[in-house]
Amino acid sequence: MKILKASLGVVAVLAFASPSGATEIKALINEQGCFACHSLDQKMVGPSFKMVADRYRGQKDAADMLAKKIISGGNGHWDKITGGIMMPPHPGMSMEQAKKVADWVLATK
Ligand code: HEC
């Protein structure tokens, strides 16, 4: 019983240690299937999240613009890399969720 209590304590500490819900955002990205077309640092169907971050870093309103694009889909920004493939819409995501994901993408190093 002592051991069980101790390991529960460790789990609680780990849960608290995760900074600003980054794990939660990654889970959301996983759930939405974004990694089928994007990786952190390799071009796949779409640009890598690092390429996106490099392109918009420091740009005001970038998170809002990207959040809208994540929800509504679109194309034309990365044709040179994608050959004109479009980013599908994700209408099931709220603006709040999409904004968090966009902020997370923009922080990719
Ligand atoms: C079916 C493949 C596919 C899926 C799934 C997908 N994307 Fe994309 N994504 C693309 C393509 C292709 C582009 C390039 C669009 C363009 O040229 O403007 C893109 C572009 C983007 C951009 C850059 C937009 C811009 O205007 O520069 C972001 C950010 C992004 N995707 C995030 C996501 C997120 C977050 C998800 C999951 C919710 C996701 N993508 C799911 C294919 C995909």
> Rounded to whole angstroms, how far apart are CA atoms 74 and 92?
16
Q: Are 50 and 41 in contact (CB under 8 A)?
A: yes
Per-residue confidence band for 98, with pLDDT thresholds at 50, 70 and 90: very high
Per-residue confidence band for 29, with pLDDT thresholds at 50, 70 and 90: very high
- Position 31: which residue type? E
Atom nearest to 65 CA in ligand 1: 26
Q: What is the pLDDT of residue 7?
A: 65
Q: What is the pLDDT of residue 50?
A: 98
Neighbours of 46 (CB within 10 A): 22
Q: What is the pLDDT of residue 9?
A: 62
Cα(11) to ligand 1 centroid in Å equals 34
Q: Ligand 1 — pocket residues by CB below 6 A?
A: 29, 32-34, 36-38, 45-47, 52, 66, 69-70, 74-79, 82, 85-88, 90, 101, 105
